[in-house]
Amino acid sequence: MAIPVDNLMKLPPGASLREHSGQATADITKSGDTIYVTATCDSLQRQIEYYEAAYDNLLIAFDDYRNTVKTADERRTNPVKTVAVVFVAGIIAGVLMAIILTKKLYGKRTK
């Protein structure tokens, strides 16, 4: 895209010049001694929209994963608590077995 400087200098204040080249567009305005150029490209805009959508999808997936991990951590039992419960249950079972065996052994001898 080529715009002669002479054309830019002849722009009246507040007027704009728009040029297209393929998917690119340039919008040129003059305000006093300052020239403003705004350029866009359709293919770049599509890429931006694609990556923004991909980013949003990744954020949603990450939030879902984080919630899943948090839920799994909440469901997981405390290993110390499990060991303590099993230990106490083992002691109770041992005492009961000792009482039962003692009664069976000594109960037969006295009769």
Q: 3-class DSSP state for residue 40?
A: strand
- Would you list the domain boundaries of the chain? 5-42, 79-111
Structure tokens belonging to residue 87: 């230990």
pLDDT at 100 > cutoff 70: yes
Write down the pLDDT at residue 1: 63
Q: How confident is the model at residue 95 (pLDDT cuts 50, 70, 90)?
A: very high
Q: What pLDDT, in 10s, does the model give residues 16-53?
A: 878 877 788 888 888 877 888 888 888 888 888 999 99
Are 27 and 16 in contact, with CB atoms under 8 Å apart?
A: yes
Work out the mean pLDDT of the chain and round it to a whole number: 84
Write down the pLDDT at residue 2: 72
Distance CA 63, CA 68 (A): 9
Sequence-ordered alpha helix ranges (H) in the chain: 5-9, 42-75, 79-110
| DSSP structural state of residue 12 | P
Structure tokens belonging to residue 94: 């041992």
